Structure 1
Amino acid sequence: MTEPVVSRSHSGVLAPIGGLFLFAVATGYLMSLLPLSLPTLGMSGTMAAWLASALYGGLLLGALGVEPLIRWMGHRRALLLSLLVLSLTVAVMAALHRPELWLAMRLLAGMATAGVFVVVESWLLLVEDERQRAARLGIYMAALYGGNALGQLMINVLGFEGAWPMLAVMALMLLAALPPLLAGGSAPMPLTEEQSGSSCSPLCVKVPALLGCLISGLVLGPLYGLMPVYLHQQVMVSELTGVMMALLILGGMAVQPLGSWLSARFSKTLLLSLFSLAGAMAVVVLILASSPLEFGLGMLLLGAAAFVLYPIAISQACEGATSGQIVRITQLMLLSYSLGSVSGPLLAQGGQRLNMGLIQYLGVIFLATALYMLAAALRRTSAVVEPPAGME
């Protein structure tokens, strides 16, 4: 009988989480560094949206092929390879300032990032206990968003001009490889063909879960790719770009325990609706803000709403799943997220033709999601309450 694909010890959590945290610090800094550095390097500011879409295009491509890589190399080696490729892309971008080369490197970086996400998520979720999965997912999100927030603050420390910022990002990527490198015995058992064959198809994943990840991409893609530029253009907070981005991500980090607690007790579809409504409220706060303090509160609420959608959706998708299905489910969820992330920055930028800026775009996405998820939750409740015809 095939041995279950589970982590062999609690210490197995430290290696992926340690690597993920340092990776998150590096990417958090890089997500603000790239759009802000474009003018100083003689590139058009419109490249910001294309760089973001190239990254998420690579994420989409990587999500399609990461499962065979994990089956071939194992979780630990696949994570190491992904982090080394990421550091290589940063090194090339630091050395050569050519738009077409940068787009190619961001595409490659997206593929490597897909490897990091699927490897770490499946590494942590490969346990049979549903409550342990939820706890590990909460740790994962806290490390990811906490690292991103810390990385955003590095804009105020190292700035975005010169060679040092890129070198710092590359060093962090290389340091992120150390925890999994030094923890060779704590990775999950390798995937077998039998376990891969038991993986589910998109048809077995709940529609609200798939849509939740899609919407998460439609929101987070523009937030990562375009929000730093938007903040830099706002006179009220132009000198506080790094702080505001950190508040955005800290809001997402702070809401994770609440999101985990609520998702274990209430309908996840309803929670997706309520947090989307909170996102729409955050947009109203940002539009009406008349001081940096009010704007900062709006960013906190926006982050809380935007960053909780993905963990709720993936938790919903993993309900009742076996260990043999986890890698495929995380792959499908990342694929759905990537589709939204590729489209989001371009849709947000295209909305300018309709006199709709980034904030207004986010408001439309959040409000439409809130209404759809509320209707879906009500339909499900009605289907549960009302007995089938002839069974009264």
Structure 2
Amino acid sequence: MIDAAVGTRSNSPLVPVIGLSFFAVASGFLMTLIPLSLADYQLDAELAPWLASVFYLGLLIGAFFIERIVAHVGHRKAFIAFLALLTFTVLLQVAAPGAVVWLLARLIAGMAVAGVFVVVESWLLMANTPKARAKRLGLYMTSLYGGSAVGQLAIKPLGTEGPVPYFFVAGLLIVALMVPLLIKKGQPDGHHSQKLKLSDLKNLSQPAVMGCLVSGLVLGPIYGLMPLYIAQTDAAPKTGLLMAVIILGGMAVQPLVSYLSPRMSKSLLMALFCLFGSLSIVGVMNAEVLPLMIASYMLLGACSFALYPVAITLACDKLEVSKIVSATEIMLLSYSFGSVLGPLFAALLSDSADGLPMYLGVCLFATCIYMLIKSSRKISTTDTPIAGL
């Protein structure tokens, strides 16, 4: 077994963070662009939840084989390959606009994005101490959500009609893959990582798995359906702004997550975020003035995007470097499973004007109760990272 220091001596966060930033701008814009551009491509609006779910199904499928690719070609080459594949799917949507092609493209895109996430997360989490990992993950989340928020702001100047917005996304992804293509130093040293096994799920901290699952159940509908929900309300002209505010909330909370995560029970921390997230739903449903809307959506974003980094640090605390890639795969598997089901569950409430926020509120409040129970029982395994992965 390789010591924790191995794989970190030459490990620099420069390449993954810069590449991720361009990827995040492109991905954030694309997530909002797809549901809003359906009409322009003569596609039914009812396709939106299916496009969101099939994308996360791709994430789920990707979680089963990414570790082998990273182990075979290394982090840098894998990063380039996954970004190139994602770029291809974006261009495919423009070249052949049809329901079947778009569903296939989003499925493949999900696999590619799963690769990007696992490569970047494992690259950054290969640090010597839990504190260093928390700081790096905070940097990762800040870059991811900050870039996604900036991407939302492109909706107004570029619009959602025609191929130009999609070419803009493809251009940003090409810039992102140029970073690891040109900077060849800084990736982790080679190491022997263990393959993903479904049986390993039983060794995970239950709150960690639940945190990633609920993160998917919440973020899947936020990315895939929230633009449509806002566009159907009186705040329709502010759709891009409010989507940016949601993601800015997720970015702004990351320093707080990095500070609190090593200092308190992570299950209790997730319970608190879920509680405040539930309260934000009241504002989302009832706010009539823009400042209150912005505050409500920002709080919702902060609480929703805080769950995944807390959960994944809970799973990776005191974990050996050789197991980081496999651990991030398993947590991505849990997140992806939630993300596949989330848009479909939320769509069941589509007959109600406030069906989406009601769904989000139920998910967050139920999770709050669960995390409080786990925290109050003080079970010795509650905050125990993966054992025997």
Band the TM-score falls in, shorter-chain normalisation: over 0.9
The structure with more helix, counted as a fraction of residues: 1
Q: State the alpha-carbon separation in 1 of the partners of residues 2 and 151 from structure 2.
A: 42
Aligned equivalent of 1:196: 194
Question: In the alignment, which residue of structure 1 is the partner of 2:264?
Answer: 266
| TM-score between the two structures when normalised by the length of structure 1 | 0.93
Q: 1:358, CA displacement in angstroms?
A: 0.2
1:176: how far off?
0.5
Correspondences of 1:91-240 after superposition (within 5 Å): 91-192=91-192, 195-196=193-194, 201-235=200-234, 237-240=235-238
Contact 1:75 1:190 in 2 (8 A): no
| SS, match of residue 167 in structure 1 | helix
Paired AA for residue 105 in structure 2: M
Counterpart in the other structure of 2:244: 246
What's the Cα RMSD here?
1.9
Partner of 2:22: 22
Gaps of 5+ in 1: 385-392
Matched position secondary structure for 1:201: helix
Equivalent position of 1:314 in the other structure: 312
Deviation at 1:198, TM superposition (A): 10
Q: Is the 8 A contact 1:252 1:307 kept in 2?
A: yes
TM (normalized to structure 2)? 0.94
- SS of 1:97's equivalent? coil
1:354 and 1:32 map into 2 onto residues whose CA distance is 22
Structure number with larger C-alpha Rg: 1
Q: Does the 8 Å contact 1:20/1:144 carry over to 2?
A: yes
When residues 112 and 198 of structure 1 are mapped into structure 2, their CA distance, relative to the original with a 3 A threshold, is: closer
| Deviation string, structure 1 residues 151-202 (Cα, Å, up to 9, x no partner) | 010001211111110100000111100111122121111233xx42699922
User: What is residue 352 of structure 1 aligned with on the other side?
Assistant: 350
Question: Which residue is 2:331 aligned to?
Answer: 333
Distance change (3 Å), C-alpha of 1:233 and 1:178:
same
CA distance in 2, matches of 1:102, 1:297: 34
- Give the structure 2 partner of residue 8 of structure 1: 9
> CA shift at 1:336, angstroms?
0.1
- Residue 111 to residue 381, structure 1, CA distance change in 2 (3 Å): closer
* Contact 2:27/2:148, CA 8 A, preserved across alignment: yes
Q: How far apart in 2 are the matches of 1:298 and 1:100?
A: 36
State the one-letter code of the partner of 1:134: A
Task: Judge conservation of contact 1:138–1:257 (CA < 8 Å) in 2.
Answer: yes
Instruction: Tell me the amino acid that sits aligned with residue 352 of structure 1.
Output: S
Please tell me the residue identity of whatever aligns with 2:205.
Answer: K
Between the aligned residues of both structures, percent identity stands at 47
Q: What is the CA–CA distance in structure 1 between the aligned matches of 2:220 and 2:186, rounded to whole Å?
A: 33
1:272 and 1:361 map into 2 onto residues whose CA distance is 18
Report SS of the residue matched to 2:108: helix
Consecutive unaligned residues in structure 2, runs of 5 or more: 383-389
3-state secondary structure, aligned to 2:264: coil
- Tell me which residue corresponds to 2:58: 58
Q: Does 1:367 align with 2:365?
A: yes
Indicate conservation of the 8 Å contact 2:315/2:327, yes or no.
Answer: yes
- Trace 1:274-285 onto structure 2 (pairs within 5 A): 274-285=272-283
Shift of 1:381: 6.4
Distance 2:9 2:381 in 1: 41
Q: Where does residue 387 of structure 2 map in the other structure?
A: none
Compute the displacement of 1:67 (Å): 0.4
Q: Are the equivalent residues in 1 in contact too, given 2:121–2:328 (CA < 8 A)?
A: yes
Farther-moved stretch of structure 1 (313-322 vs 215-224): 313-322
Q: What is the distance in 2 between the residues matched to 1:122 and 1:356? A: 38
- Partners of 2:371 and 2:141 in 1: how far apart? 23
Task: Report the residue type matching 1:94 in the other structure.
Answer: V
Shift of 1:259: 1.2
Q: 2:134·2:261 contact (CA, 8 Å) conserved in 1? A: no
**Is the deviation greater in 142-151 or in 203-212?**
203-212
Partner amino acid, structure 1, of 2:229:
Y
- SS of corresponding position for 2:348: helix
Mean alpha-carbon deviation: is it higher for 196-205 or for 245-254?
196-205
With 211-220 and 315-324 compared, the bigger mean Cα shift is at 315-324
Counterpart position of 1:389: none
Where 2:350 maps in the other structure, the secondary structure is helix
CA distance in 1, matches of 2:339, 2:134: 24
Amino acid in the other structure paired with 1:262: L
1:74 touches 1:191 (CA, 8 Å); kept in 2?
no
Residue 323 of structure 1: aligned partner: 321
Is the contact made by 1:138 and 1:256 (CA closer than 8 Å) also made in structure 2?
yes
Query: Does the Cα contact within 8 Å between 1:198 and 1:325 map onto a contact in 2?
Result: no
Query: Within 1, Cα distance between the matches of 2:140 and 2:372?
Result: 28
State the 1:352 CA deviation: 3.1
AA matched with 1:30: L
CA distance in 1, matches of 2:149, 2:336: 21
CA offset at residue 263 of structure 1?
A: 1.1
* Conserved 8 A contact 2:49-2:225: yes
The superposition leaves residues 357-386 of structure 1 with CA deviations (integer Å, 9 ceiling, x where unpaired) of 0000000001100011101100116999xx
Aligned residue pairs, count: 380
In the other structure, the counterpart of 2:34 is 34
Taking a change above 3 Å as real, the CA distance of residues 309 and 198 of structure 1, as seen in their structure-2 partners, is closer
Q: Distance in 2 between matches of 1:5 and 1:345?
A: 41
C-alpha contact (below 8 Å) 1:29/1:151 kept by paired residues: yes
State the one-letter code of the partner of 2:289.
S
Amino acid at match of 2:77: R
